[in-house]
Chain A
Amino acid sequence: MALPICLSIAAVLFALGLYGVISQTNLVMIMMGVELMLAAAMLNLVAFWRLLHPHTYTLQMFVLVVMTVMALEAAVGFALATQRFRSRGSVEVEEAADLKEEGV
């Protein structure tokens, strides 16, 4: 019973993150959607570790790797947002097309 509960919650969280990534226009809000999707992946890994393979620590190690990915996604995303805000005064992704080369 516990495994379907965890996986269902992870599936819904993943879908919520996907909704955020597709529907938001703000770069920081899109990053929030990505974080939700990665959090769903972490929940799956922890549930599989606890309920199916509690003596296999590779799954816990992968959770640490996903946490690392979340941290670097935030760091690089915020850096891009900072630079974008400096150059254009906005972090709306719909306005990011003006970085495109003329005639492309």
Chain B
Amino acid sequence: MNALQLFFLAGFGLAAVWFGWRVFRTHSMVRSAMSLLACMVALGAMFLVLQAEFLGVLQIMMMAAEMSIMAFFMMMFMMDPGGLGNMNMTHQQKPATALSAAVAALLLALLLSTNWPAPLAQVPTATQQNHDLGIELMTRSMMIFETAGTTILVAMIAAAATALVYPPQPD
């Protein structure tokens, strides 16, 4: 990877971390959802810098839809969606901070002390990637891919069944 790619990789990564941090620091729930959307878009941009074009575009499109829905749910279910009342929705903050800092330190120590092999310089072009991924999904990994599709279907049925009012109420 050249210096410009590394610069953009680190830049988008820092943006992702910053927005990820803002998700839990703002008092406005809608702003939280939008911060998570910005974090996911920064991650999608990192995928694009890493030349995974298909996954990068998919990530940005999927997360834009998902976080928009999340923002709607925030407005519906929050006592204070605008965050003007400065309400507190956290508990056990000290153990949470300590544990997450310890996990981050452990992971960073592990990955920085590992002797990673040298990265490969060349990757297939975007067209070749789409072709090869399609072949992979339809041949060797077909069962896993089909399982993912069935799981989505089960989740849709489970979500509809869970959210239904039972017994049905007359209009």
B126 adjacent to chain A (CB < 8 Å): no
B1 adjacent to chain A (CB < 8 Å): yes
**B64 CB → nearest A CB, Å:** 13
Q: Which of these, A11, A36, A85, contacts B36 with CB under 8 Å?
A: A36
**B67 CB → nearest A CB, Å:** 9
A102 adjacent to chain B (CB < 8 Å): no
Task: Please state if A67 and B62 are interface contacts (CB–CB under 8 Å).
Answer: yes
Interface SS of B by simple majority: helix
Task: Please state if B9 and A54 are interface contacts (CB–CB under 8 Å).
Answer: no
Inter-chain CA distance A92–B91, complex, in Å, is 11
Convert A66-79 into 0s and 1s, putting 1 for each residue whose CB lies closer than 8 angstroms to a CB of B.
01111110111011
Inter-chain CA distance A31–B133, complex, in Å, is 30
Task: Please state if A26 and B111 are interface contacts (CB–CB under 8 Å).
Answer: no
- Kindly list chain A residues whose C-beta atoms are within 8 Å of the C-beta of B6: 1-2, 5
Task: Please state if B136 and A61 are interface contacts (CB–CB under 8 Å).
Answer: yes
B46 adjacent to chain A (CB < 8 Å): yes
A28 and B77 in contact (CB under 8 A), knowing A4-B116, A72-B152? Answer: yes
A101 adjacent to chain B (CB < 8 Å): no
A96 adjacent to chain B (CB < 8 Å): no
- Kindly list chain A residues whose C-beta atoms are within 8 Å of the C-beta of B93: 23
Task: Please state if B23 and A54 are interface contacts (CB–CB under 8 Å).
Answer: no
B104 adjacent to chain A (CB < 8 Å): yes
A98 adjacent to chain B (CB < 8 Å): no
Inter-chain CA distance A36–B16, complex, in Å, is 10
- Kindly list chain B residues whose C-beta atoms are within 8 Å of the C-beta of A16: 17, 20-21, 23-24, 100
Q: Which of these, A6, A15, A50, contacts B107 with CB under 8 Å?
A: A15
Inter-chain CA distance A13–B131, complex, in Å, is 31
Task: Please state if A32 and B133 are interface contacts (CB–CB under 8 Å).
Answer: no
Q: Which of these, B70, B120, B135, B152, contacts A28 with CB under 8 Å?
A: B70
Convert A83-97 into 0s and 1s, putting 1 for each residue whose CB lies closer than 8 angstroms to a CB of B.
101100011101000
Task: Please state if A24 and B155 are interface contacts (CB–CB under 8 Å).
Answer: no
- Besides A2-B9, A23-B93, 7 more A-B contacts (Cβ < 8 Å) are A17-B20, A22-B99, A46-B46, A50-B50, A50-B123, A57-B136, A61-B133
Which chain B residues have a beta carbon within 8 Å of chain A's beta carbons? 1, 5-6, 9-10, 13-14, 16-17, 20-21, 23-24, 29, 32-33, 36, 39-40, 43, 46-47, 50-52, 54-55, 58-59, 62, 66, 69-70, 73-74, 76-79, 89-93, 95-97, 99-101, 103-104, 107-108, 111-112, 116-117, 119-120, 122-124, 129, 132-133, 135-137, 140-141, 144-145, 148-149, 151-152, 154-156, 158-163, 165
